[in-house]
Amino acid sequence: MKISIIVPVYKTEKYLEECIKSILAQTYTDFELILIDDGSPDNSGNICDHFAQMDQRIRVLHKPNQGVSAARNNGLDMAKGEYICFVDSDDCIDENYLSILSQDMHKGGMTACQLNHTGKTALSADKDVLRPEEAQISCFSAFGMGGFAWGKLFDTEIIRLNKLRFEQDLAICEDLLFVIQYLRYATEPVVWNHSSLYYYRPNQNGAVKKRFLAHENFNNTELTEITALERSQAYLLDEAEIERAWNVRTVKAAVNTIRTMTANHVYDHEKKKRLLKIVRENVFLCLKSRYLTKNAKLSVFACACSPTMELKMWILHN
């Protein structure tokens, strides 16, 4: 079965070669690599072209910058594989990544692996076989598989039949929304392999952390985490525990959005008032929830008391 690997590329010339080489080194060789150069102002586009000349499995699209969601959508339009996975251009994958993800993949389902933050692969015989309902909960949980687009293998047919796309007006958690939408239409189990095969390179200047610190290039798309969570509610499967997990994750999104607003002096009083209401009405639900870390619970409690105090606490511990 052919796999399409979609890599959105933007300003990652420092890491891009390592990323591409890790893909080309796969023990599973029946794949196509789609590199979407999203208007990179550095040498990333040339690096893409260089590798495309060396390996006929690589296709490159150069396009004006529109953001990661648009780039992934371009890749979806180009994909010819039976299955699809996403890799970020500053990350790497283990040589057995495709082999292990594909061995448990079934039409109508999904497979996933653990993230690797150290660069050292940890193989495991453990795996969880989850119903789509359980998989949605796992995506919302801090201790689950996560709602990231990367680290997962998707059935192209589900994406095409249900016209799934990454929503381009979202800059935060657009991939979580995509995965929850996908699971809404999954008909087979999700296999979560506990081997850590996807090396995620933390980016201190990335959108996720940068939004919590005052910066001159701030824009309102950095407030869209809560929007992504609210949109995902329409795609929840019919199980009460999913709603509880979604509710807890939505509170966390509200805290993150309030922190972003406080850090960047965004004076939208109605929005902040609405988000604080979500946090304060769900404090005790979050404090006793098994889906949040201790630090996240502390942030919820602190935010309910004082958003300014919560921001100071976050800065102190990060």
Task: Looking at the structure, tell me whether residues 161 and 296 fall in a common domain.
Answer: no
Q: How far is CA 15 from the centre of its chain?
A: 19
Looking at 199, 224, 243, the residue that finishes a domain is: 199
Task: Looking at the structure, tell me whether residues 79 and 176 fall in a common domain.
Answer: yes
Helix (H) or strand (E) holding 93: strand 92-93
Task: Looking at the structure, tell me whether residues 235 and 266 fall in a common domain.
Answer: yes
Helices in 233-282 by DSSP H: which ranges? 240-263, 269-281
DSSP 220: G
Q: Is 54:24 a contact under the CB 8 Å cutoff?
A: no
Question: What residue type is 66 in one-letter code?
Answer: Q
pTM of the model: 0.95
Which residue from 115, 155, 172, 231 is spatially nearest to 3, judged by alpha carbons? 155
CATH code, domain carrying 33: 3.90.550.10
Task: Looking at the structure, tell me whether residues 189 and 213 fall in a common domain.
Answer: no
pLDDT, one tens digit per residue, over 62-103 is 999 999 999 999 999 999 999 999 999 999 999 999 999 999
pLDDT, one tens digit per residue, over 30-47 is 999 999 999 999 999 999
Confidence of residue 203 (pLDDT cuts 50, 70, 90): low
Helix (H) or strand (E) holding 303: helix 294-305
- State the Cα–Cα distance between residues 66 and 242, nearest whole angstrom: 33
Task: Looking at the structure, tell me whether residues 230 and 174 fall in a common domain.
Answer: no
Looking at 150, 176, 199, the residue that finishes a domain is: 199
Which residue from 150, 76, 71, 163 is spatially nearest to 116, judged by alpha carbons? 150
Task: Looking at the structure, tell me whether residues 154 and 235 fall in a common domain.
Answer: no
Q: How far is CA 153 from the centre of its chain?
A: 13
> Does residue 206 surpass a pLDDT of 60?
no
- State the Cα–Cα distance between residues 107 and 224, nearest whole angstrom: 32
Q: Given this model, what pLDDT does residue 118 score?
A: 75
Q: Is 230:169 a contact under the CB 8 Å cutoff?
A: no
Task: Looking at the structure, tell me whether residues 163 and 30 fall in a common domain.
Answer: yes
**Domain limits at 283?**
207-317
Q: Given this model, what pLDDT does residue 35 score?
A: 98
Task: Looking at the structure, tell me whether residues 170 and 42 fall in a common domain.
Answer: yes
- Reading the block at residue 243, the tokens are 């709603």
> Does residue 1 surpass a pLDDT of 90?
no
- C-alpha distances in angstroms, 201 versus 115, 166, 195, 204? 10, 22, 17, 10
Task: Looking at the structure, tell me whether residues 218 and 150 fall in a common domain.
Answer: no
Task: Looking at the structure, tell me whether residues 281 and 170 fall in a common domain.
Answer: no
Number of domains observed in the structure of the chain: 2
pLDDT, one tens digit per residue, over 248-261 is 999 999 999 999 99
- C-alpha distances in angstroms, 24 versus 47, 92, 110, 218? 14, 11, 23, 37
Residues 6+ apart with CB under 8 A from 154: 83, 84, 85, 110, 182
What is the overall mean pLDDT for the chain?
A: 94
Q: Given this model, what pLDDT does residue 150 score?
A: 95
Q: Given this model, what pLDDT does residue 125 score?
A: 87
For residues 275-280, average pLDDT: 98
> Does residue 207 surpass a pLDDT of 80?
no
> Does residue 204 surpass a pLDDT of 70?
no
Task: Looking at the structure, tell me whether residues 125 and 237 fall in a common domain.
Answer: no
Looking at 199, 223, 251, the residue that finishes a domain is: 199
Task: Looking at the structure, tell me whether residues 115 and 153 fall in a common domain.
Answer: yes
> Does residue 209 surpass a pLDDT of 70?
no
How many other CB atoms are found less than 10 A from the CB of residue 200? 18
- The alpha carbons of the chain give a radius of gyration, in whole angstroms, of 20
